[in-house]
Chains A and B, each alone.
Chain A
Amino acid sequence: MKAAIVVFPGINRERDMAIALERITGQKPRMIWHKETDLGDTDLVVLPGGFSYGDYLRCGAMAALSPVMGAVKRHAERGGYVLAVCNGFQIVTEAGLLPGALLRNAGLRFLSMDCHLRVERADTAFTGQYHKGQVFRAPMAHGDGNYTASTEDLDRLEGEGLVAFRYAEPDGAISDRANRNGSARNIAGIFSPNFRVCGLMPHPENLVDPLMGGTDGKPLFDGLAAALAA
């Protein structure tokens, strides 16, 4: 699997993502500066977390207009894989690659803690090494993670099975308590209709080694590596 990480000014999770990808694939991902317009030969493009452009105007709004995003869109249109985490998720919604938007957390507080995610389907490249309904732990660190979309879009996401992960209790129950940022229908992550673009707020890349305190996020990367093995 050839992976590339897009680097925007103000991003701060690109090295964590690179460590996770290298650990799973044995290859260093290419780092692509936001001014580049060619992604090269890449199976997976990752938009990492951070605070691109200082969150000016809206989180992800400026990055969505970066030169590199044209190439990311073309990659997605060709059926390429895109993993968008945290600020990356905000960027792809701003860019229109995934529906909806991320609002300020309902409790107004920046949330830096672990959450539990329930895997809503296991037949995708992103979730193939989990099983449906499995719950895994993932760190989150965001001020604007409150997912929202029009009722029609939410119904379409549910109807077409495009919800990837929901905030859940450790036993998998869906509750308001587990939904710390107030996201619509506990949605933590979603897929594009072809299941090749996945955006989520929490950080699976931060739990891929026992030294990090767990390996809950590793199956996501294992699954991608298995699905995209060249």
Chain B
Amino acid sequence: MTKAVVTVMLKNGVLDPQGKAIGHALGTLGFAGVGEVRVGKRIELELAETNPDAARKAAEEMGRRLLANMVIESFTVEIV
């Protein structure tokens, strides 16, 4: 079994109002020096595939077809 972690983020340039609100709230709490904040999703997949390359390929296909909406999001796959 292989575990794949898919991280889905809004594409650069796509407004992330949640990230903005969190950044603002951190400022309110007194955390200084926080720049841009972006919010994403982490999706952990247990895959029966044992070959890491094949598992990555499968997870990337899942990312393109469902886990991310490629109009607004991008994703990365990590095999752990």
Interface residues of A (CB under 8 A from B): 57-58, 61, 65, 93-94, 99-101, 103-108, 146, 148-150, 182
Contact = CB atoms under 8 A, between A and B. Distances in A.
B72 interface: yes
B72 A101 contact: yes
A104 B18 contact: yes
Contacts of B18: 104, 108
Contacts of B10: 103
Contacts of A65: 66
A108 B21 contact: yes
Interface of B: 10, 14-15, 17-18, 21, 66-67, 69, 71-72
Contacts of B67: 57
B69 A61 contact: yes
Contacts of A100: 71
A94 B69 contact: yes
A106 B17 contact: yes
B55 to A, nearest CB: 21
Nearest to A96: B71
B66 to A, nearest CB: 7
A106 B19 CA distance: 11
Contact of A104 (B17, B66, B69, B71): B17
B71 A101 contact: yes
B17 A150 contact: no
Nearest to A103: B72
B14 A103 contact: yes
Contacts of B15: 103, 106, 146, 182
Contacts of B72: 101, 103, 148
A148 B14 contact: yes
Nearest to B70: A101
B41 to A, nearest CB: 8
